[in-house]
Structure 1
Amino acid sequence: MGTVVLTMKASVIEMFLVLLVTGIHSNKETTKKIKRLKFNVPQINCDVKAGKIINPEFIVKCPAGCQDPKYHVYGTDVYASYSSVCGAAVHSGVLDNSGGKILVRKVAGQSGYKGSYSNGVQSLSLPRWRESFIVSESKPQKGVTYPSALTYSSSKSPAAKAGKCSRLVNRQYCVLGDSVEINIFTGQAPLIW
């Protein structure tokens, strides 16, 4: 009788340990699954310029076809924020013309941007610009939270809306493209819009 009770106690203890270990194991898998959940990566078009996005660092998905010359890129390795984000990614070699995810980080403006031909994209030179960005592979850095939605600036000057050169200081300022007013001699935006 004593042997039967001991055997039953041993069996109960073994079952308890099996359940405990199984619970811990499934708990670890649940934790792993939670950590592996992916955040929503915003998709942008080829014509989106880095300067229109307010976020200082973000991951985006670019579509195919951003190698087209109509998506202007200014600079090499470090790009003026007036550049197409996805065009710069193709120029830098981080993406090919089939698109994909990239990490974008805003950096300080440069005193000059040198144009070059790389990966089927001709980038242009620019004397200086107030903000720059760099692109890299979309590997998130530990401890950094990336936005699942981007914040865009919506301000446009009246001259930019008209789409023609303004007549400030002897035609010194001109609208470049669809929204940026620059000094044609220095390449800088005016301080007052």
Structure 2
Amino acid sequence: HFQTLKEENEALRKNLSGETLKVFTTSNLKALLYSGNDTCVKNRADWEAHEGNCYYFNLMPLSWEESRQECRCRGSDLVKVDSRDEQTFLVEKLKTKILHPEDKFWIGLTDSKKEGSWLWVDGSPLDKRLSFWFGTEPDNWTEKNKDGEDCVRMGKHDVTDLECWYDQSCLVPQKSICEKAAGTSSSVCV
């Protein structure tokens, strides 16, 4: 009987060690992923660097607001395009991430407060010299949603130029692009 208890005790000890290791590993992984002093280039394979900023291409289709919240959970916000060079960088990156014509990415531009008055997520107005609308966009199309199209997505399958912004209903699930300055906190949602 003593030998059976000893074997049971050993089996429980091994099981407990395995569970403790799982908890320890998970905690370490979270600490590594959400450490506050990463620079996206060295420590985060899922962030891409360009001219002092880090970009995360979220492949999970979400509404514009959900996408923005997801970015905030990563210590960032939806991307604000500040230059032609930045637009070029994003277009190049999207070439390998867009799988079909409707496969597009939310950016941090909306006219949800006032129709036709496009604002970035930081509250700054769109500089018309740095707008990259495709064709007749924005068109505020109301066929699918009576409220129209108040959020901006970018991307074009087989893109050959930089004009690839489209307005869309903010409720339509899309992929998204998050942006943060290099070296800032990687997560505020642990």
TM-score (norm 2): 0.30
Higher relative contact order (Cα pairs below 8 Å, separated by 6+ residues): 2
TM-score (norm 1): 0.29
